[in-house]
């Protein structure tokens, strides 16, 4: 679930499409589509009744709703806010920050990622590197000519209140611990860790106890979310199979890096049982989130792109059927997150950025 916005765009511009069979995408007569009058909405985007732009500069992503849908926490590296790397910010739903700065609720030290509200609406979990170094860690973009993501071994998971005071540290294992999200049942956290020597999914109680390993197959498992009833997990994963691919993956991981150019979606029960691969699209399929019905997944992909670009949002049923394109941009749409009441969708996009590389937050009124 890490935020790699500008980095993903660099990857997209430089990558080549992997060979895969192009699936049939469900579509409807465009004359019947309801796009509304909002200029932020492309004509084919029938699920968006209206849309508001929330941020106006920098890279902004992973906006997650409070349990009462009144507030959101998101991460940003907006240099106009005095940032050198991602920090966490709090907003009231309905605000925008075209001419103002939201309150920062992380420490302002190190790099942070993946903030998620706890059920009391007064605390949140997030990953941070600040214990290892108060400065922002370096961000490698390429290794041997290929695009890479860093998975910093200095990341640990913390609990903080909405004033930014850290109240607990949930992980203290050596290595990467991050990408935490909370079950709608309010009882479990899922996160990614390399404590086993590989990047696997784990669950734990809200106080950090009862840690259970959920996945155990070689490859990067991350960006996991629970289903609305808490019974299932959806996540992205790489699965190197050939001897060359396995060696490459292990060598990169030993340096704290992964290459995310080929990822598919996987689904399993919350305890890791009944694991199944959901997509077989090729290229990068990631940032999945359950539809409020629990019967389908909204995710970002560049599988239709000949040169790795653009990324758009797609629906797919939890049985892998009925693939449907949802957004129709020419740049980058990702990190979709439904409000708890199902009435709104928050996501990140390059739309309306004036031709810059800025990735901003948007909230769309949802209609079906």
- In terms of pLDDT, which residue wins out, 222 or 1? 222
The predicted pLDDT at position 259 comes to: 92
pLDDT in tens, 134-150: 999 988 777 776 789 99
- Which CATH number goes with the domain that contains 13? 2.120.10.30
Give residue 24's pLDDT band: very low, low, confident or very high (50, 70, 90). low
State what percent of residues in the chain have pLDDT above 90: 82
pLDDT in tens, 166-213: 999 999 999 999 999 999 999 999 999 999 999 999 999 999 999 999
- Which residues span the domain enclosing 352? 5-19+53-366
Is 25 within a domain?
Answer: no
The predicted pLDDT at position 307 comes to: 75
Is 301 within a domain?
Answer: yes
Is 35 within a domain?
Answer: no
Is 38 within a domain?
Answer: no
CA distance 231 to 240: 28
Is 48 within a domain?
Answer: no
CA distance 282 to 301: 9
CA distance from start to end of the chain: 27
- CB 158 within 8 Å of CB 129: no
Give residue 128's pLDDT band: very low, low, confident or very high (50, 70, 90). very high
Number of structural domains found in the chain: 1
Is 161 within a domain?
Answer: yes
The angle at the Cα of 209, spanning 207 to 211, to the nearest 5 degrees, equals 130
pLDDT at 44 over 60: yes
The predicted pLDDT at position 21 comes to: 47
Query: In this structure, how many other beta carbons lie within 10 angstroms of the beta carbon of residue 311?
Result: 29
- 0.85 surpassed by pTM: yes
Is 45 within a domain?
Answer: no
Is 202 within a domain?
Answer: yes
- CB 230 within 8 Å of CB 184: yes
Name 109's Cβ contacts closer than 8 Å, sequence gap at least 6. 128, 130, 134, 135
Q: What is the largest CA-CA distance in the chain?
A: 56
């Amino acid at each position: 679930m890490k935020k790699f916005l500008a980095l993903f765009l660099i990857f997209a511009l430089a990558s080549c499409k992997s060979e895969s069979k192009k699936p049939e995408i469900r579509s409807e007569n465009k004359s019947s589509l309801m796009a509304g009058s909002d200029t932020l909405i492309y004509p084919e985007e029938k699920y968006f009744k209206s849309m508001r732009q929330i941020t106006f500069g920098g890279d902004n992503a992973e906006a997650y709703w409070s349990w009462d849908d009144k507030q959101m926490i998101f991460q940003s590296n907006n240099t106009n806010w005095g940032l050198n790397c991602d920090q966490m910010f709090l907003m009231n739903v309905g605000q925008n920050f075209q001419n103002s700065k939201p309150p920062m609720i992380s420490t302002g030290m190190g790099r942070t990622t993946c903030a998620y509200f706890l059920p009391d609406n007064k605390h949140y979990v997030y990953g941070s590197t600040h214990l290892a170094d108060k400065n922002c860690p370096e961000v490698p973009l390429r290794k041997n000519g290929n695009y890479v993501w860093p998975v910093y071994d200095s990341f640990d998971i913390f609990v903080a209140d909405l004033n930014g005071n850290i109240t607990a540290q949930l992980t203290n294992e050596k290595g990467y611990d991050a990408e935490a999200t909370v079950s709608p049942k309010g009882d479990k956290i899922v996160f990614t860790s390399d404590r086993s020597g590989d990047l696997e999914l784990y669950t734990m109680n809200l106080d950090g106890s009862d840690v259970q390993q959920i996945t155990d197959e070689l490859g990067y498992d991350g960006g996991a979310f629970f289903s609305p009833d808490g019974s299932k997990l959806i996540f992205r994963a790489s699965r190197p199979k050939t001897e060359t691919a396995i060696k490459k993956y292990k060598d990169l991981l030993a340096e704290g890096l992964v290459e995310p150019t080929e990822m598919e979606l996987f689904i399993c029960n919350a305890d890791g049982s009944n694991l199944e691969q959901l997509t077989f699209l090729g290229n990068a399929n990631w940032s999945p989130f359950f539809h409020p019905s629990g019967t389908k997944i909204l995710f970002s992909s560049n599988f239709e792109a000949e040169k790795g670009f653009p990324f758009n949002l797609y629906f797919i049923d939890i049985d892998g059927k009925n693939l449907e394109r949802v957004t129709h941009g020419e740049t980058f749409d990702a990190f979709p997150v439904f409000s708890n009441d199902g009435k709104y969708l928050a996501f990140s996009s390059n739309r309306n950025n004036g031709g810059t590389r800025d990735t901003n937050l948007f909230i769309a009124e949802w209609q079906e």
